[in-house]
Structure 1
Amino acid sequence: MRVAVLSLIETSHPAQAAGASATTPSGLRGYLPIGGRSLLRHQIGLALSLGAKRLVVMAEGISGELVALQHVVEAGGAQFHVVATARALVPLLAPEDDVIVVGDGLIAMPDVFRDLIEAGPGVLTLPAESALPLGFERIDINHAFAGAMRFPGRIAAGLADLPPEWNAQSALLRLAVQARLPLRGVSAAMLGDGRWTMVRSEPEAHAAERQWLRLHTATGDAAEGSPGVLLAMAFVRRFGPAMLHAGTRPALIGLAAGILGLLGLGLGWLGNAATGFLLVGLSWLVERVASLMGQVERDSLLASGLERKAVALFHLIVDAGLVTLAAWRSELPYTSAIPFGLNWFTPILLVGGARLVRLALPRFPRSAWLEDRLVFGLLLAIVSVALPFDATIGLAVLALLGTCLLLLQLGRSPATERSPNSQLTSRP
């Protein structure tokens, strides 16, 4: 069984390294907030993502926060225990268990943490000269304990022979080093960019929170370079901490996006198409904010956020809203001489063509803008006010398809064109 040992205890002990920071406060680091959730909650997300089936928290007593975290752990399919002393930890760690220890106050990027821990049993270390001023514990003259280690459960049996006042995690570190577990280095560069941080106080928590949110919103999505996505990322990085501390969840922001879209459709039905286009575009922007915050919760906390299927469905609804507004805005007269539904035809081609070009030319510079419905809504609003609407939409469709065909044709190289059975017909 994989077992994770976490801690809420900050007490000195005989084995405490002399190089440890003397300014460390006596409060409980595990309760410091990062993104509206406690450090301990983030560590529980790490442990559950690694498949831990038993989580043991070293704490001097049960609190309401620990009871709430117990529900989170049990909902994740794991057992939850709270113990006060190192000796009480011994019965919970069987010799065959795979034990992971996460240091008090440590917050790390989940992908980095998993890669280092899954590499095998060992003690994670940092260069002593870089890590000691940041609150990490010294191991020897060159190495500091990086705040995480993995070892077989039989090593923890030595806790029974130690005095009861010893700090459990430092005692486990001593036992692991005595057992000659390999030391696995963590890059010191991670200390500077926020991927590996020891948080000791509220000011440090605020600084770590900004880095944490920046790292979790640094998406590799293909639409990253579009104005709407960049604006959503800037908004989340600026106001995300305040929203998370206020308890604003991604689902509530997604609801606000839906309300904005409905309001835009209502205004379009009443004849104010330009404002309707803007509101539908803004609803897409608000959804991107909700999606980014949901991504943070899924990646860092294993919490439920907006799922990808729901996001894709919302984008289809936004496209349908833009098509509907464009059809209502059309200046084509409703007469028997004009086929029914003709005013819907060009808007459908426009939105469908934008999706087609984006799929056909995924690596073309600025093609990501074609997925940006904030830009789309703004351009349609300008066209609705300043230009002949139907003619401009028709020209935009021709420009999209013509550009797509031209770029695809230019991208075809004779050297890369082969017959379907080239391996059968070619000669060596």
Structure 2
Amino acid sequence: MAFPGTANAAQGAGLRGYLQIGGRTLLRHQIGLALSLGAKRIIVMAEGISGELVSLQHVAEAGGAQFHVVATARGLVPLLPPEDDVIVLGDGLLAMPEAFRDLIEQGPVVLTLPVETALPLGFERIDINNAFASAMRIPGRIAAGLADLPPEWNAQSALLRLAVQARVNMRGVPVAMLGDGRWSMIRDEDDAHVTERQWVRLHTSPADAGNGSLGEILAMAFVRRFGPSLLHAGTRPSVIGIAAGVTGLLGGGLAWLGNFATGFLLLGLAWLIERIGSLLGQVERDSLLASGLARRSVAFFHLLIDAGLVSVAAWRSELPVTSALPFGLNVFAPLLLVGGARLARLILAHTRGAHWLEDRLALGTLLAIVSIVLPFDAAIMLAVLTLLGTCLLMLQFGTAPAVAKAQAGGSPNPQLTSRP
């Protein structure tokens, strides 16, 4: 959703604005919120220009918005035309983008919280029952009243009073958002450390919690435990992606030299490292919008991991290489195994436990164990038969999602189906 000529006023020039969550300042997070709403003008209240504000200017301009720094409330007046929508973000506010957009997009509104809950957390009082939730959307014409106020007035408080006098609708922010970290007021470093853990957890919570595979669970646990430290240290997802590639190459090289079990394990580890990088990239993209590397090469990397597993399995095969056997026979069963896992993942997409079919850490570990303790080729062939048999049974008895839908009477092409 975009507002032509939208302005965003963010209070954050003091210590709160420069406190960091995930290696980025609160101001940077607030600019991500503004850009996600299509803001065309971003205004920051500050006493002067700093290096951080210059970098934020580049971010705002890259997102298609003008960037201004003003020192007084009166300085806002010429930047807020009457026909504009003004979105005000309070000093220290950190909100989840989805929750923020759902509450602020529905026309002019002042967001509120129960005063008894919000005041101890640092939110500003409005009246006897309500506290300001540090976010509002008002018509630009209301901001014209700033010109009549003394210059020493706080811009946020002044705009709040003007909005209340203009009888802008009030809408309550669910108190539950304060408890789970979707709506937070960051006042100092201690608040930032506590909220940061919740922030990472919220951004890495899967929609289908409970269906994660071993590799996914380990990647999520690593990001939740060490993700904030990595982001504060400036470790970007692209660096982790490079580490995953190097690990995969090392695994392939060791397998070429005959260390097959180690090769399988390192290829699985490369997949796990890539998943960690993808999760960190997802956190940055979801929260900061214009930041974080869009990892379009993830699918290609997974194909390379699969190709590596097939290659190592072919090298490990004990089938004799003679003219009596077809060329490439040692590749056939591993190729069926990996390709069958991909196909079964599509067929069983909504089935509990289907995540395991794309977990290359688990597959690499199993192949490493099989290569040490079992007849390798026989075990691979048995795994292929088991995989294909499971898919055939589920299709035969209608338990796969696509079949269940068809049996329920749904037409796959309703536009092309006609009745006499």
Tell me the TM-score normalized by structure 1.
0.92
User: Cα offset for 1:74?
Assistant: 1.1
Match of 2:194 among 203, 207, 210: 207
SS of structure 2 residue aligned to 1:150 = strand
Aligned Cα root-mean-square deviation (Å): 1.8
1:7 maps onto 2:2 in alignment: no
Q: Counterpart in 1 of 2:107? A: 120
Q: Which residue of 2 aligns with 1:173?
A: 160
**215, 236, 245: which one pairs with 1:258?**
245
1:373 counterpart residue number: 360
Q: Which one-letter code corresponds to 1:276 in the other structure?
A: G
Q: 1:82 is paired with a residue of what secondary structure?
A: strand
- Mean CA deviation greater in 360-369 or 245-254: 360-369
Taking a change above 3 Å as real, the CA distance of residues 304 and 168 of structure 1, as seen in their structure-2 partners, is closer
Q: Is the 8 A contact 1:291 1:306 kept in 2?
A: no
2:282 to 283, 292, 295: 295
C-alpha separation between the residues in 1 aligned to 2:411 and 2:24? 58
Structure 2 unmatched runs, 5+: none
In the alignment, is the contact (CA less than 8 A) between 1:109 and 1:300 conserved in 2? Answer: yes
Instruction: Please state if 1:85 is matched with 2:89.
Output: no
Q: Deviations over 1:294-345 (max 9, x none)?
A: 0011110114434353111111111111111111111111110111111111
Quote the offset at 1:364 in angstroms. Answer: 2.0
Structure 2: distance between partners of 1:69 and 1:332: 61
Give the aligned partner of residue 385 of structure 1. 372
After superposition, where does 1:90-109 map in structure 2 within 5 Å?
Answer: 90-109=77-96
Cα distance in 2 for partners of 1:422, 1:249 equals 50
SS of equivalent to 1:309: coil
- Partners of 1:145 and 1:187 in 2: CA distance: 13
> Counterpart amino acid of 1:385?
I
- Distance in 2 between residues matched to 1:418 and 1:288, nearest whole Å: 36
Shift of 1:353: 0.6
Cα distance, 1:215 vs. partner? 0.3
Contact residue 93 and residue 134 of structure 2 kept, 8 A: yes
Q: Distance in 1 between matches of 2:63 and 2:137?
A: 21
Alignment length (residue pairs): 408
Query: Of 159, 180, 183, which aligns to 1:193?
Result: 180
Change beyond 3 A, Cα 1:415–1:224: closer
8 Å CA contact 2:16–2:92 kept in 1: the answer is yes
Give the alignment of 1:8-407 within 5 angstroms.
8-9=12-13, 28-220=15-207, 225-307=212-294, 309-407=296-394
Match of 1:21 in 2: none
Q: TM-score, normalised by structure 2?
A: 0.94
Secondary structure class of the residue paired with 1:338: coil
The 3 A distance-change label for structure 1 pair 329 and 305 is farther
Deviations 1:8-35 (A, max 9, x none): 35xxxxxxxxxxxxxxxxx520000100
| Structure 1 CA distance for aligned equivalents of residues 128 and 311 of structure 2 | 69
1:410 equivalenced with 2:410 (yes/no)? no
Structure 1 position 362, deviation (Å): 1.4
8 A Cα contact 1:267 1:275, kept in partner: yes
Which portions of structure 1, spanning 4 or more consecutive aligned residues, are displaced by more than 6 angstroms?
417-423
- Which 5+ residue runs of structure 1 have no aligned equivalent? 10-26
Shift in Å, 1:367: 1.6
Cα distance change on mapping 1:363 and 1:156 into 2, 3 Å = same
Q: Would the aligned equivalents of 1:4 and 1:55 in 2 still touch at CA under 8 Å?
A: yes
Distance in 1, Cα, partners of 2:133 & 2:411: 57
Q: Per-residue displacement from partner, 1:373-397 (whole Å, max 9, x unpaired)?
A: 0000000000011101110000000
C-alpha distance after superposition, 1:225-276 (max 9, x if no partner): 1110011000000001111110000000000000000000000100111000
Does the 8 A contact of 2:281 with 2:295 survive in 1?
A: no
Deviation for aligned residue 1:36 = 0.4
Q: Which amino acid is 2:140 matched to?
A: G
